[in-house]
């Protein structure tokens, strides 16, 4: 962790031990956001929801084809990313926004394949507070 103004760290580094211990392993001095914190901020939530909690405030979508910008793809207790739209007409790749993944440790936009996301267990969800 590197020091910033006031000696506060710019975030925690992911480790398997932190994954095992969950929230109790997060440094009290760290600031910044991880993947679910990013989604929580984008949705304007009053607090940060973990990947374990997001499904509780969302409705599951029947398929990836139902995704709209602002929806998420979530894996319980692991990772989430925000859907930004389709890259191609065949809907084989999508635009994804996410943070908290090595080696970037910042918000990035990339184009994963639907097949890779499904293969890694990502579930499409829509926040219940969204208004079309």
* pTM (2 d.p.): 0.80
Contacts with 3 (C-beta within 8 Å, 6 or more apart), sequence order: 9
pLDDT at 29 over 60: no
Give residue-wise pLDDT tens across range 52-66: 999 999 999 999 999
Q: Is 59 part of any domain? A: yes
Average pLDDT, the chain: 85
Is 80 exposed, middle or buried (CB count within 10 Å of its CB: 0-12, 13-18, 19+)? buried
Torsion over CA: 54, 59, 65, 68 (sign): negative
pLDDT at 12 over 60: no
Domain ranges, residue 40: 9-127
pLDDT of residue 27: 61
Among 130, 114, 59, which residue's Cα sits nearest to residue 81? 114
- The CATH number of residue 46's host domain is 3.90.1720.10
Count of domains in the chain? Answer: 1
């Amino acid at each position: 962790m590197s020091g910033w103004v006031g000696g506060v760290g710019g975030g925690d580094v992911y480790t398997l031990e932190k994954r095992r211990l969950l929230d109790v392993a997060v440094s009290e001095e760290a600031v910044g956001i991880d993947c679910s914190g990013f989604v929580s901020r984008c949705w304007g939530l009053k607090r940060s929801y973990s990947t374990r909690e997001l499904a509780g405030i969302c409705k599951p979508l029947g398929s990836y084809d139902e995704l709209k910008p602002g929806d998420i793809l979530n894996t319980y207790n692991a990772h989430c990313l925000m859907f930004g739209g389709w890259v191609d007409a065949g809907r084989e790749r999508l635009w994804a926004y996410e943070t908290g993944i090595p080696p970037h440790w910042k918000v990035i936009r990339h184009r994963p394949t639907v097949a890779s996301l499904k293969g890694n267990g990502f579930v499409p969800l829509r926040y219940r507070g969204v208004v079309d």
